[in-house]
Structure 1
Amino acid sequence: MTNYVRNHSLSNDEIQRYSRQLIISEFGVNAQERLKSSSALIIGCGGLGSPAALYLASCGLSRLGLVDHDNVDKSNLHRQIVHNETTVGRTKVDSARLTCSQINSSLQIDTYNLLLTHENIMDIVKQYDVILDCTDNVITRYLINDACVLCRKPLVSASVIRFEGQLTVWNYIEKNGPCYRCLYPQAPPAETVSTCSDVGILGPVCGTLGSLQALEAIKILTKVGDILSNRMLLVDGLSMSFRTIKLRNRQSTCAVCGTNPTIIDQPPPPPLGQCSNDQPCRRNLLNSNERMTADDLAKSTAASFIIDVRPEQELNIAHFENSFHLPMDRLLYNNNDEQLRNELRTNIEKHQQIVIVCRRGNDSQLAVKRLKELLPDIDNIDEKVKDLVGGFQAWHTDIDSTFPLY
């Protein structure tokens, strides 16, 4: 009988499981052995983290970390494919661990059911070879970026919104690649940044970008292929176009990876008033006397003129009967719309109470300010015009649970 020679540490089961990867000429046994001794951390088990987790769980990693502080909700299921109806209500990390372990029972899966902060992130990040930022929050991106630079970890980062997405690798030291702060030194105000929770997202866009994140992580761990560092991939699902743009190099003035960094031992806490999680921020732009709760509106005996400032696609989900539809874009950017001014003036003067409503009670506050700017000469406008605190979500929670929550 002729003996065979095995020049690797892969078992027969592993060879069978990963055979389609092993026969790729650019990949092969050596790359698979690197995966076998490697680890990855996914931060955010949502739309991006779901496909990334599925592919990393199935590729032959030694260890996979999952970070999320949220629970699975039915509204997640159209895009967060690592979860399903049977895990609604469970923590996302437990739900993702269950699915991933069913794909690969030999994989070590660590779960962190917590909100990342500047105090705990370093202890987690330093344990893994590559980090995937799958979050939906700008402030968290700075937190993850800073921790990765300080721990000298490559960061595979993606973001998605509506039909669009982008992908890059930050802090890839082998290419002297830039970090997130090299391009964006300071976090923008929270109210200027839209998230998929605000404007929506089509599920397959998440699937596309999350899968590409897993691909880049595998390339980094196996040292196979050209890493997407110093470049950014832009994806437009509506036109089905993919293009890559060049990013500027690492900046010597960067606060965390520059020549004289000011961020040294741990990431700084988020700016005061900024949200550091994926949940929508609640703005407080008005005084209490300019606002009205859902309970106040339900009990009010005054004749109310309700102005709905949501876009038309949200209006078609549900709306208050006999409300006046005034999209925010028309209100904010049509300074010369005399017909609108006259229509608003007539109704504001005629009614005792004007209530502005939106989805969550954020845009409605801007609308109150704008109305007062457009019609400053109306008597008692400051007392008449109010916004609904919490918007339609508060109406659903506090008054009418049959009102659709979206």
Structure 2
Amino acid sequence: MELNQETVERYSRQLILNEVGLEGQTKLKNAKIIVIGAGGLGCPLSLYCCAAGVGTIGIIDNDTVDASNLHRQICHDVNHLGTPKVDSIEKKLNALNPLVKIIKYQTKLNRSNAVEIFSNFDVIVDCSDNAPTRYLASDASVLLRKPLVSASALRFEGQLSVYRPFELGNPCYRCIFPDAPDPSLTGSCSTAGVMGFVCGVMGSVQAQEVVKQIVGLDRSLVGKMLVYSALDCSFRTIKLRSKVEDCVCNSNPKSLQCFKDVLFECSPPLMILKDKERILPDDYSKMIAEKTPHLLIDVRNFQETQFSNLGYEKPGDFLHLPIKKITDSDDISAIVSNINTKMSELKDDCNLIVVMCKRGNNSQKAVQKLKQTDLVKQFELKDVKGGLLGLKDLIPDSNIFDY
């Protein structure tokens, strides 16, 4: 590595560290990392790796910048709305350090392109927000014998671990999580929420572990998991189990086909109710316009109702019952009594109860549970297919769809 004036000035504060020095800085310059995701984790991770002088940074992302990204995805701003995230992050990184080469992959990572892309890089960095991608990144790490630095952030919590499954005793992601979670039971940033600073903390620590892998510092998170809680302002390090004997990573796999496939596409909407038990968005918007009598039950949680209020209902024909209050109740008789009271306040000819949620999944669960009570003998119970989002463009002059 040539120690010219620009190099010395830019990296002087880390060049003087014994753990880095000229040798470590040269390793950073020659290193190539591939970052999966240009979002909440990928942005701070890429910024710090770029600032540290990692020579080549590849970015995989097929998404465009949305206003809801801006509170945590700090490489993007209002000028980038609607543009590909890989283009936005490239501009940010080039402005920070033009000595670093940025390679963009505006594509969706999948089993057919993962090996080809990852083969060109030294370290795989998982900044994704879904389980199938994490399994895919781990499988490629095993197959290509490349270290994987994987992090996640949700609500007020974060997790981070480093996987080197090609080394004796070190587990892969499948060793720790042998079975993929049920997509209907797992949350995401869009459904469960996340604080931006949690992404900042986890992305920064993730960059720390990437640099340590490149420079060769021994004290890393291999075989451990770092757990962060913003609410407690605490970090805990958990020792992970050793490599599982019957895991596929122990069998010297030759291709990704050796690994159990995890569905990459988003899970389809729940189909609990029959079509005749559901109301199409078009039909429900007509009911609103025609003022068809019915009791509307909103089963979203309290936080969701705060920024998306059902403002079109008339007084007396609306009830808020969070989904957990319905599905997790040991004694649903109080809920039934409350609904009966509301129905008695409406017109005599009203016998319809409509259940609403954000997407049309929890509303089905609520209708299913309520149909196990005596309500089904007195009233017609239906939900709105697609929920509030299905009505987004159908109810005019409404500000209830701000998310």
Fold equivalence (TM over 0.5): yes
SS state of the match for residue 7, structure 2?
helix
- Aligned residue type for 1:311: N
Per-residue deviation, 1:157 = 0.6
Contact between 1:396 and 1:402, CA under 8 Å: does it hold in 2? Answer: no
Per-residue deviation, 1:164 = 0.5
Separation in 2, partners of 1:84, 1:175:
44
Separation in 2, partners of 1:93, 1:309:
37
- Provide, for residues 249-294 of structure 1, a one-character-per-residue CA deviation record: whole Å limited to 9, x for no partner: 1112112x12x36x541255855xx4536xx863333222222222
Contact between 1:175 and 1:229, CA under 8 Å: does it hold in 2? Answer: no
Q: Select the residue among 254, 263, 271 that pairs with 1:284.
A: 271
Q: Which residue of 2 aligns with 1:3?
A: none
Per-residue deviation, 1:170 = 1.6
Q: Select the residue among 63, 73, 79 that pairs with 2:72.
A: 79
Q: Which residue of 2 aligns with 1:153?
A: 146
Per-residue deviation, 1:356 = 1.1
Q: Which residue of 2 aligns with 1:325?
A: 320
- Provide, for residues 181-232 of structure 1, a one-character-per-residue CA deviation record: whole Å limited to 9, x for no partner: 0011121211111112111101000000011111100000110241101100
- Aligned residue type for 1:319: N
- Aligned residue type for 2:155: R
Separation in 2, partners of 1:378, 1:347:
15
Percent identical = 38
Per-residue deviation, 1:337 = 4.0
Q: Which residue of 2 aligns with 1:403?
A: 400
Per-residue deviation, 1:376 = 4.9
SS state of the match for residue 319, structure 1?
coil
- Aligned residue type for 1:303: P
Question: Which structure 2 residues correspond to residues 372-391 of structure 1 after superposition, within 5 A?
Answer: 372-373=371-372, 375-376=373-374, 378-379=376-377, 384-391=380-387
User: Structure 2-normalised TM-score?
Assistant: 0.91
SS state of the match for residue 361, structure 1?
coil
Residue 343 (str. 1) matches residue 338 (str. 2): yes
Separation in 2, partners of 1:126, 1:290:
51
Q: Select the residue among 273, 283, 288 that pairs with 1:296.
A: 283
Question: Which structure 2 residues correspond to residues 125-164 of structure 1 after superposition, within 5 A?
Answer: 125-164=118-157
Count of aligned pairs: 389
- Provide, for residues 35-75 of structure 1, a one-character-per-residue CA deviation record: whole Å limited to 9, x for no partner: 11101111011101010011111111111000011100011
Q: Which residue of 2 aligns with 1:305?
A: 295
Bigger mean CA offset, 210-219 vs 185-194? 185-194
Per-residue deviation, 1:365 = 1.5
Separation in 2, partners of 1:127, 1:348:
65
Contact between 1:230 and 1:246, CA under 8 Å: does it hold in 2? Answer: yes
Bigger mean CA offset, 228-237 vs 246-255? 246-255
Contact between 2:157 and 2:198, CA under 8 Å: does it hold in 1? Answer: yes
SS state of the match for residue 229, structure 1?
coil
Question: Which structure 2 residues correspond to residues 184-333 of structure 1 after superposition, within 5 A?
Answer: 184-255=177-248, 257-258=249-250, 260=251, 264-267=254-257, 270-271=261-262, 274-276=263-265, 282-300=269-287, 301=290, 302-320=292-310, 321=313, 322=315, 323-333=318-328
Contact between 2:32 and 2:123, CA under 8 Å: does it hold in 1? Answer: yes
CA RMSD of superposed structures (Å): 2.0
Per-residue deviation, 1:165 = 0.5
SS state of the match for residue 227, structure 2?
strand
Per-residue deviation, 1:354 = 1.6
User: Structure 1-normalised TM-score?
Assistant: 0.90
Per-residue deviation, 1:347 = 4.6
Q: Which residue of 2 aligns with 1:5?
A: none
SS state of the match for residue 393, structure 2?
helix
Call closer, same or farther: CA 1:377–1:357 in 2, change over 3 Å: closer
Question: Which structure 2 residues correspond to residues 97-108 of structure 1 after superposition, within 5 A?
Answer: 97-108=90-101
Separation in 2, partners of 1:310, 1:72:
27
Call closer, same or farther: CA 1:135–1:358 in 2, change over 3 Å: same
Bigger mean CA offset, 42-51 vs 386-395? 386-395
Separation in 1, partners of 2:320, 2:375:
23
Separation in 1, partners of 2:186, 2:92:
32
Separation in 1, partners of 2:300, 2:166:
45
Question: Which structure 2 residues correspond to residues 17-96 of structure 1 after superposition, within 5 A?
Answer: 17-96=10-89
Separation in 1, partners of 2:172, 2:48:
25
Contact between 2:370 and 2:376, CA under 8 Å: does it hold in 1? Answer: no
Bigger mean CA offset, 173-182 vs 235-244? 173-182
Call closer, same or farther: CA 1:345–1:170 in 2, change over 3 Å: farther
Per-residue deviation, 1:355 = 1.4
- Provide, for residues 221-245 of structure 1, a one-character-per-residue CA deviation record: whole Å limited to 9, x for no partner: 1102411011000100011011101
Call closer, same or farther: CA 1:222–1:174 in 2, change over 3 Å: farther
Question: Which structure 2 residues correspond to residues 359-370 of structure 1 after superposition, within 5 A?
Answer: 359-370=358-369
